[in-house]
Copies of this chain bind each other. A is one copy, B any other.
């Protein structure tokens, strides 16, 4: 076995274990689990950290990643009432409402295998992402959906959106989450047909 193959096996095993642990702990997004399991069952591919898409209220206390925190996270359609209630709660800094698309990380053994994933991405109409790391035995792809929303809803303690507007925003976000899930299902079906 080549050095690259040994590396691939090790990395795949590590990510597989980490994934199954996350499922056990209930930390993995349910909707994406069968897709991840399928990819992990193939010989030349595995999944690393993934998210199926979500609606969030993100608190931003300043600049930089450490200054942001999740005030709320929903992986399914959410009711306006829940969002509005959460906006009214105590928060720090500014608060943004966001709908974030799925993000999937896939490891591939060779460049040829990685290109196979690129083909599948294109067939499934997934517009964003590509190979983000490439070394012998470790090709990592990141695929991202395109549905998204982002807007400020609160600056300091001041809610800057009206109730009527937010009702429409939540409706749109739920529509976008459904379109996101639709794309994910399409991707899963092409993966199951083409990735062996």
| Residues of A that sit less than 8 Å from B by CB | 111, 114-115, 118, 128-135, 141-142, 144, 148-152, 155, 160-162, 164-165, 168-169, 172
Contact = CB atoms under 8 A, between A and B. Distances in A.
Q: How many copies of the polypeptide does the oligomer hold?
A: 2
8 contacts: A115-B134, A118-B134, A129-B130, A130-B142, A131-B132, A148-B148, A160-B165, A165-B165
Contacts of A133: 118
A144 B142 CA distance: 13
Nearest to A165: B160
Given A160-B168, A165-B161, A134 B151 contact: no
Nearest to A179: B63
A10 to B, nearest CB: 21
Nearest to A164: B160
Contact of A155 (B111, B142, B150, B168): B168
A43 to B, nearest CB: 21
B130 A111 contact: no
A136 to B, nearest CB: 11
A153 to B, nearest CB: 9
A27 B68 CA distance: 37
